[in-house]
Amino acid sequence: MKISGTGVALPQLRVTNDMIAQYVDTSDEWISSRTGIKERPMISTESLIDLGAKAAKDAIAKAGLAPTDIDLFICSNVVNSYVTPSLACIIQGEIGATCPCFDINNACAGFMTAMDMADGYISSGKYKNILVVCAEEPSRIVDWKSRDACILFGDAASAAVLTAGDSLKTMKFSTKSMPDVLYYRRKLEYNPFLKKEEFNKPLQMNGRDVFKTAVSFSSADIKEVVEATGWKMEDVDMFVLHQANLRIIEAIRQRLDLPDEKVPHNVERMGNTSSACIPILLNELIEAGKIKKGDKLVFSAFGAGFSSAACTYVWE
Ligand code: COA
């Protein structure tokens, strides 16, 4: 499997830390020093469907394909205004694709989960061109009356077209059930037969536990896939990590003793856009000419679940 095109679509509004501090008890100083985040894109007028469609069209065009060439479309999404049908089904109509479609919900690990699935489909010969769109709108579920989590996230869509190739080397994907550290619950509106308590909870997060789990899972995953590929850590040209918090990225970098320049980040400008993070960063690196043919890459992502994934990849 290889990535043959990437695309990104961002909402116009950029929300700075000072803008958030107008609504909750926080400050630019606190957010910058604890997370590295200065601003993040946020949906104010756009629809996530339009952003997803725009990112998809961009990736398909860069892959040199037409929407009708796509054989399967997987959309990674945690929440959007529709519960059903899937976001992929809706975006399919917007871009003029005709293939089977479905959504996956694996939070920030969604892009890597879709990569793993796509690799299985492509290796089996079942599908040739697979579109993955990561369309995320965390601003819809964070608690805007509490400072705990709303400072971390951004809204965005990104996409990648995955086709047959020999770029993906080793993939590790794992889940450890830890629903209490990061979750969002919604109440059933009305059912006359319901005899149990139901409640709404905006996004709840135990920041410290998430931080520690993220650093230990991601570092272990990266070590494992690099070794399983027969590489040494110093062979890797670039580590494309999930953009949750600059301190998490820095802790992983230090734990693995990686040079600064091999661990790019954009969390300062993007915040955590959940599964959209990795394709956005990848797209930026490609556009800036920072990745060249033959480069050895590592991707690593983690998120609610707790799910975690990493892979080794040689750029074609
Ligand atoms: N603004 C100002 N103060 C805040 C704050 C905010 N937004 N959020 C928490 N605080 C306060 C706390 O109330 C606490 O005050 P106290 O010492 O008076 O009790 C203090 O800051 C320290 O809180 P703590 O939660 O220990 O801070 P932290 O250094 O762990 O940073 C996170 C909090 C959320 C930034 C950090 O834990 C983190 O990034 N975790 C990972 C979250 C994540 O990445 N989630 C998505 C994963 S995909």
Known catalytic residue at 265: no
pLDDT in tens, 31-59: 999 999 999 999 999 999 999 999 999 99
The per-residue pLDDT for 127 is 98
Q: How far apart are the first and last CA of the chain?
A: 11
* Average of per-residue pLDDT across 235-257: 98
Task: State the Cα angle at 45 between 287 and 34, rounded to 5°.
Answer: 60
Decide if pLDDT at 206 tops 90. Answer: yes
Task: Let me know if 233 is exposed, middle or buried by CB neighbors in 10 A (0-12, 13-18, 19+).
Answer: middle
Amino acid 189: pLDDT: 85
pTM for this structure?
Answer: 0.96
134 is catalytic: no
Non-local (6+) Cβ contacts of 102 within 8 A are: 73, 74, 75, 86, 88, 89
Q: Which of 22, 34, 134, 275 to mutate to test the pocket of ligand 1 (most atoms within 8 A of CB)?
A: 34
d(CA 236, CA 241): 13
The DSSP code for 153 is B
**Which of 169, 110, 158 minimizes the C-alpha distance to 5?**
158
Average pLDDT over residues 5-22: 98
Considering the candidates 17, 75, 106, 108, report the single residue annotated as catalytic: 108
Average pLDDT of span 103-124: 98
Residue 182 is encoded by which pair of tokens? 């990061």
What average pLDDT does the chain have? 97
Active site residue 272: yes
pLDDT digits (tens, 9 = 90+) for 75-90: 999 999 999 999 999 9
Beta bridge partners of 131: 73, 161
